[in-house]
Amino acid sequence: MPETAIGVPFSDEQKKLVWEPRSELPVRASGGVEYPPRFVTYLARFLLNYDAGSRQWWSDQSSSLPLGVSRAALVELRIKQFEQFSQSVQVGLQQFSKPMDGPRQLYSLLRSRYGVSRQNKLQLAILFSLIPAPRQPSDLIRRALGEYDNASVATITVIDGGSGYTEAPVVAISPPDAA
């Protein structure tokens, strides 16, 4: 089975991440990860912003909107379309429902597809912070934030060395998680 960049294997179905009719999806056993609604909603928004296929679907949906209706009616129709999209995202998450590996596999797939820019890394970190512990991949979130920040300490100037030490303490600064 192919492995992700973080060493967690994922199946061919997981690599697809494409829309399939609900009737064609296998029934999943319960007991896996149930992603919280905030996570599903944020992931749906993430996909609409960063995934070309999702963005195209959203654009195509606007062409089916009726003409000559009020703004409030259009907003209501778009909300229903977003709800449908979010539900399909939630169904798609079933393939990433293994209790400990599921979120890590999903993170790895999203990171490999969309995690190139600094902003995308930040958005992925925010997204996965919405998964409650202990299933939250906090090490991957820290790494993404470290890569987003990409800061380094060039120099340190000590203005007041302090007092009270018989011997100066040894100060060690470790490299950031992203290094």
Segments making up each domain of the chain, as ranges: 12-149
Least trusted range by pLDDT, from 19-23, 56-60, 67-71, 169-173: 19-23
Q: Model confidence over 75-117: pLDDT tens digits? A: 999 999 999 999 999 999 998 988 768 999 999 999 999 988 9
Instruction: Return the DSSP state at 64.
Output: T
Q: Say if CB 107 and CB 10 are below 8 A apart.
A: no
